[in-house]
Structure 1
Amino acid sequence: MQQPEIGRSTATIVPEEILVVVIEMSLSSWLVAGLVPGVDRRPLKTLSPDENALLLLLEGWRREAIAAGRDVTRMVVAYEAGRDGYWLARWLRARGIEARIIHASSVAVSRDRRRAKTDRLDTELLMRVLLGWLRGEPGHCTMVAVPGIEEEDAKRPTRERENLVGERTRIINRMKAAFARLGIRDVNPALRKTAERLDGLRTPEGVTIPANAMSELRRDTARLRMVEEQIAEIERERMERMAQAAPQRGHADAMVRMLSRVVGIGVETADLLVQEILLRDLRDRRAVARYAGLTGSPDESGARRRERGLSRAGNARVRKGMVQLAWRFLVFQKESALVKWFRERTADGRGRTRMVLIVALARKLLIALWRMVKTGEVPQGTLVRPDPAAA
């Protein structure tokens, strides 16, 4: 995924020829604010969430600028990243309008404890942020890279599976709590045979499970089986897609196969890393670490120096997956250079040291895997399975 002009705009801005528009989007309405060349007023219009009505409004403002003697050669529309996703940006770009999505966390807001906040004030803030970005001011704000609909859709299986795994855990914990409430021990709700054992279970009081509790457990068991079937279906469809080797997914699937050859990395983790970060055109290793939120957040003022831990400003899925993978690497890749580096620095056996350095290991490992898929360089000492295609 290419990311041109994400940190700052490199195009020359001509104020008399550019129509700048920002949108404050909500479920029920869109508040659209414009900066029309040749027009002194700042137009503000509330629309229903309708892309065609927005297009008509933009054309109307463009005609106003032409009537004022300005030749509009560029139209820029921006809105904050949020629930509506990327569809509107793609729709506008298909009609020749430059659409931008502002990363919400990069917008500086007032530090007043009780600052006023309305949709109108939000549009003014977005307009100031967008104009600063258009002027090419570095670090003013960050734009989100707009993926194609196929790229966006490719992330859905991994994210859906993540939600289903969480749902499975919640159901199992709820069933464990129900059994504990009745005093029944040594029952594992995750096992399929548990559903068959329900009728024969007895409480310490020597009675069967009460009727309402039994009905609840049976419904939870049915939900659990359905969730497990859906997880298996997602995994099966992923393997089928990789076996088909579709041309539009060839590059991504090749990365997944390469990563899954590393001992300790499964297809699920490999697919997560590829779709969420490794397909992105990140500039260097620092950008890779920043995107994953695996960098520090220093707090410095005068002589005071302290570290507040992870920035957590990046992709939470990548960050969580990499920390889990780092712990697995300690088990499956004991002879790798990265694991030896970790062992040397945690030889004191202190738990706090291990917790801090596991994040450093996750960052180093992510950068090593990024280099691996970009250049083919295998991390030093890492065990890699043979390539089935080369056999």
Structure 2
Amino acid sequence: MGEVIYTGGGIATMERRDGDPLGRIADGAVRVSNGRIVAVGARDDVDAADAEVIDLSGQWLTPGLIDCHTHLVFGGTRAQEHAMRRAGATYEEIAEAGGGILSTVRATREASEEDLLAAARKRLEALAASGATTVEVKSGYGLDADSEVKMLRVARALHGHAGVSVVPTFLALHALPPGVDRADYVEEVATRTIPRIAAEGLARSVDAFCERIAFTREEVERIFTAAEREGLPVRLHAEQLSNSDGAAMASRFKALSADHLEHLDEAGAGAMAEAGTVAVLLPAAFYCLRETHRPPVELLRETGVRIAIATDCNPGTSPTLSLPLVMNMAATIFGLSPEEALAGMTIHAAAALGLDDRGRIAVGQRADLCAWDVETLDELAYWIGLPGPARRFVADDER
């Protein structure tokens, strides 16, 4: 690969400078060699010799967006539940009526890998068009070892499609399969499924759903201990519908992230801050579920917990394929600043995935970049339905 220099526009480095959390350079340049950034600065300070020059034409250059929480691989849809919810049914009532996660489990088990891959590719293409260059993809709709492995193989096959890096996560405890003993199921996942997935290199981390309609802290701890033994970092769906003290428990395992967090309390936030666990907020799920108890954003700020945001793309509670829309929701519904929204889909989203080679425009980082046709970066969280970047540039060294 030759060397390229991007110039003629603004640069959001995402590295604080002169009090600016986005590290903006109004008239900047970025030099790239072999898919990595080798120089960043004011236009006159970056050597353009022997490089292909790409004129940004006044656009703003940001890191490529990172969607750090999705359930992108699944069979079927749950469009009928949308009508049930509009008629007043709750998350729990839909699950008890045979809908919810288990309906997607049935469709996912019945689908072939080829069908799952074809459907997931279309969703990934939509995320890419909205600015994604890295997307996390969870399993969790199989609920038996072979089906979970099938989902993770599909996630691995997605890697590189539409110029997106895919980061697979094994969602080890999502829902209890019908007719299965709880203790036996948890033990099977801990002692057989996690070691199998680790041995085959199918996942980068292990996740679980700690909630009154899902799994207890003690059950999740059993899974996290197994993941720790296999060298896999952990993440957690925590405090979405109630305060189960999941975030504090996950922090004891140095979890990469705790996600949702509508019912997070001071003890949980303090534990996350001490552990360096990232808070992943999911405003589209909050919107689709018509929740009213917002996550404690001010508490997260006060305790210094990093805030990421993500689509939570899934068939039941967040059929969302637009990263800019989620940035708008994070600002409008949760009260994040435009700067926090952008950081939440770049530098902090990278941290939520345990990735230190992306999310910033800095020397040594991957050259995953988006050029936005906006006058100011505040517009990224301002427009409802912004179609995505004018141009997206991706490093192809791993694709």
- Larger fraction in helix: 1
Larger relative contact order, structure 1 or 2 (CA cutoff 8 Å, min sep 6): 2
Return the TM-score normalized by structure 1: 0.22
Q: Which has the larger radius of gyration?
A: 1
